[in-house]
Amino acid sequence: MADKLIIVESPAKANTIKKFLGGSTKVVASMGHIRDLPKSKLGVDCEKNFEPEYINIRGKGDLIKALKKDAKDAKKVYLATDPDREGEAIAWHLAYILGIPENSICRVTFNEITKNTVQEAVKNPRKIDINLVNAQQARRVLDRIVGYKISPVLWKKVRRGLSAGRVQSVAVKMIVDREEEIEKFIPEEYWNLYATLLDEKSEKSFVSKLYGKNNKKLEIHSKEEIDNILKDLKGAKYIVEEIKKNQKKRTPAPPFTTSTMQQEASRKLKFTLKKTMSIAQGLYEGVKIPEKGSVGLITYMRTDSTRISEVARAAAKKHIIEKYGEAYYENRYYKTKNDAQDAHEAIRPTYIELTPEKIKDSLTSDQYKLYNLIYNRFIASQMSQAVYDTVAVDIKANSYNFKANGQTLKFKGFMVLYVETLDNEKEEENVQIPELEEKQELKKQKLDSKQSFTEPPPRYTEASLVKALEEKGIGRPSTYSPTITTILERRYIEKSQKQLIPTDLGKIVNKLLIENFSDVINIEFTADMEEKFDNIAEGNQEWKKVIKEFYTPFKEVVEKVDKELEHVELQEEVSDVPCDKCGRMMVIKYGRYGKFLACPGYPECKNAKPLVTTIEEPCPKCGGKIQVRKTKKRRNYYICENNPKSCDYISWNKPGQEEKEKTKTKAKTNTNAKTTTKRKTTKKK
């Protein structure tokens, strides 16, 4: 008989904490949730104050029997599931199954799986926090009501099997809205003019950019304008008007939250959100290290706080001073956002002495990459700023103003270890400008004009969508990964070269939801509900009251929409392809894998075939039409309509792009060759 029984969620976590506790303590895993709402029906009694109907999850019968037996044999049972709302709810369900009284002192939580933390947590158990449980119940019940009430509308009007989610539908809407912005975008022409100037004293040249005329900013929109400026600059003297020297400092990024970890792993490691969270879970629960056994390497990975403990801060200080020196250390505190829950620390390594290189052989390749990212980000967050010497030069040529900016990295600081990657950010370069004097004349070497066009906003990537969801207050750390994974699996969106693009199915579903449920499928409502869940977690709102306030008007909307759409059929798009069985013009339908052609005479005529999309560019080999097809993994490829009969053309690249790719490669090769020649010449000198 065990003195203590500790129940955690996973076997890996059980193995890690087992070694920290005495031999009379048994540690077992619940394997996640053991009770949930039934899948076959709503499972919420809306007429009886929204009472949830929980059932034991199918397939967990034997596990529940084993847990009951272990609990009966133990003198004391502790529930040590994850330290968040989901973990609190799992503990609450376990207590119900095992007959543990609600007020029992049985709940144990730890933010990191280290010996001291685990032992301290077991010495200081508490009651199950019913407010956290209720916040999780409120989210679960609300999402169940929205999904189970709206989805049937999609079944009737689009096709069976579709589903609508409260947060997922808002994410789809954001992606569809962005796509519409891109489609409506009209590019505008603009020009830049660059002057390459020589300082004859140092024999060094640098590039300056036309900024304005008569000290007023100048915008150039046509070739004609640029030609007139070039005429005005003929024979002009380029005089240094003003030189400003300064210092610029760059501060390290804070240690990771769930959101920033997901974003950075996406940008730097090309990991999907799902992969990042799976690997992080493994690092938190424990990895086998020689002579140490199973070790939890990072703190809890679902957090929106940048706070770190004083113990971790002291360990980071010691490591930085020993490895880099006093000049590289700076004690830093980061401000956590106002709406952050701050229940846990930021994501950081649990043992500073276990550097990524030291334990590399014990980790998989992906575990090493993510641990290295987390470790370096945390250490860098406690390091000193990087310092740049900057120079800004204003140059006058007739009435035109040119500007040149240079910077030199004076002190690397945290950048010796880690630099955060940001979307669409150019890496900071050392751009050097020679020592100049005011009023000196510079020799013009050449003028280069460059035509450009304004670009539409970029499509979302997983990283930028997470950032946008977080900024708008939609979802919480634990919801970002399942939200994006779900809408990808439902094929409402697809991924192409990291970009998230709405499918035709996603656009249709979004249109139907926005037209009929705009009060629910919108950013403001979704963010407002997150705030209410937070209030419930803090004990400031009653969860069933929150659901009731939502449900009363929502029920009326659903009934109204159902009635209005009863006799409305979605307009089917008629193609120009006749049915080869009955002659009717086939219509475009939407299936699980996108568009296809179907005979409108169904069920008398059941003819259906793939919808072939073509592009305007002809086949470069035979001049035939080029068809766009997709692989099983949804990647586009291009094939001649005559393949394989009389033409063998097939390519990953769109016809016309191939020449561009060849030109790019050739240009790159020539540039590299010139650089190599230049280096050789310099060496000879």
List residues with catalytic annotation.
Answer: 300
CA 395/CA 211 separation, integer angstroms = 10
Residue at token pair 């009934």: 559
First to last CA, the chain: 84
- Across 592-628, b (16+ Cβ under 10 Å) vs e yields eebbebbbebeeebeeeeebeeeeeeebeeeebebbe
For 529-642, strand residue ranges (E) read: 573-578, 585-591, 594-598, 608-610, 613-615, 626-630, 636-640
CA 571/CA 592 separation, integer angstroms = 19
Residue 314 makes CB contacts below 8 A (sequence gap 6+) with none
CA 172/CA 370 separation, integer angstroms = 28
CA 372/CA 357 separation, integer angstroms = 8
- For residue 264 the two structure tokens come to 């950075």
CA 509/CA 493 separation, integer angstroms = 11
* DSSP conformational letter for 349: B
Is-contact 344 299, C-beta < 8 A? yes
Is-contact 128 102, C-beta < 8 A? yes
What CA–CA distances, in Å, run from 663 to 618, 666, 668?
20, 5, 8
| Residues pairing with 626 in the sheet | 615, 640
Residue 15 makes CB contacts below 8 A (sequence gap 6+) with 27, 286, 293, 294
CA 162/CA 241 separation, integer angstroms = 66
| Residues pairing with 142 in the sheet | none
Residue 280 makes CB contacts below 8 A (sequence gap 6+) with 261, 298, 301, 347, 370, 374
- For residue 548 the two structure tokens come to 């009731």
User: 3-state SS of 252-299?
Assistant: CCCCECHHHHHHHHHHHHCCCHHHHHHHHHHHHHCEEECCCEEECCEC
- For residue 584 the two structure tokens come to 């009717």
Give SS3 for 310. helix
Angle at CA 501, nearest 5°, toward 500 and 502?
A: 125
Q: Compute the radius of gyration of the chain from its Cα atoms.
A: 31
